[in-house]
Chains A and B, each alone.
Chain A
Amino acid sequence: GAVVSQHPSWVICKSGTSVKIECRSLDFQATTMFWYRQFPKQSLMLMATSNEGSKATYEQGVEKDKFLINHASLTLSTLTVTSAHPEDSSFYICSAPEYSNQPQHFGDGTRLSIL
């Protein structure tokens, strides 16, 4: 079946580093992908909607200059956390719907730890 692949699964880096997370749709094309952030023992909070060929749509309160999203092709969206700080440490998950009326497929998530 359709799968969404997310990479890397775990990142540990120093404060001030920029980190790129990739989200790929395998065997289907995704014109839209979603990026979520999940704090420990909490629900998923939608950060932004990634749109192929156009600018991402950010949710209220999410800094677009801090969380850069690029949806360069129909199978790849990237989230770059720029100049990461400890408060950016979290679990980031992407998802993509195969068809507009079908459930979203989720990646396995990326655990980001900023020291």
Chain B
Amino acid sequence: GDSVTQMEGPVTLSEEAFLTINCTYTATGYPSLFWYVQYPGEGLQLLLKATKADDKGSNKGFEATYRKETTSFHLEKGSVQVSDSAVYFCALKGSSGSARQLTFGSGTQLTVLP
């Protein structure tokens, strides 16, 4: 079945540091890929998405590129802020079968220090 492997945390960075959170996936066909962010005590918010190979999703300074050759969708941000502290989830939606449900990675806790 589909699976998502995400870089384990927690990750602690200083403000303005560069961020990379690795995400790789296993799926048949052509899944859609997502990054969600969860702030403390809240539900998930979509951060960015990519629906086909070589697509780059971007939002709020975060970027991720759908790499089919390496089955990866790594999240990056050039300069993190304290307000970026949250848990980040990589997820995929399969292209067949129960295509509406999401498969999540384990989540990565990010803490940005001032």
Contacts and interface: CB of A to CB of B under 8 A. Distances in A.
Interface residues of A, number: 23
Interface of B: 32, 34, 36, 41-46, 49, 51, 89, 93, 98-102, 104-107, 109
Contacts, number: 51
Contacts of B46: 103-105
A93 B43 contact: yes
A43 interface: yes
Contacts of B105: 43
Given A100-B99, A104-B102, A109 B107 contact: no
B104 A43 contact: yes
B64 to A, nearest CB: 14
Nearest to A31: B100
Nearest to B44: A106
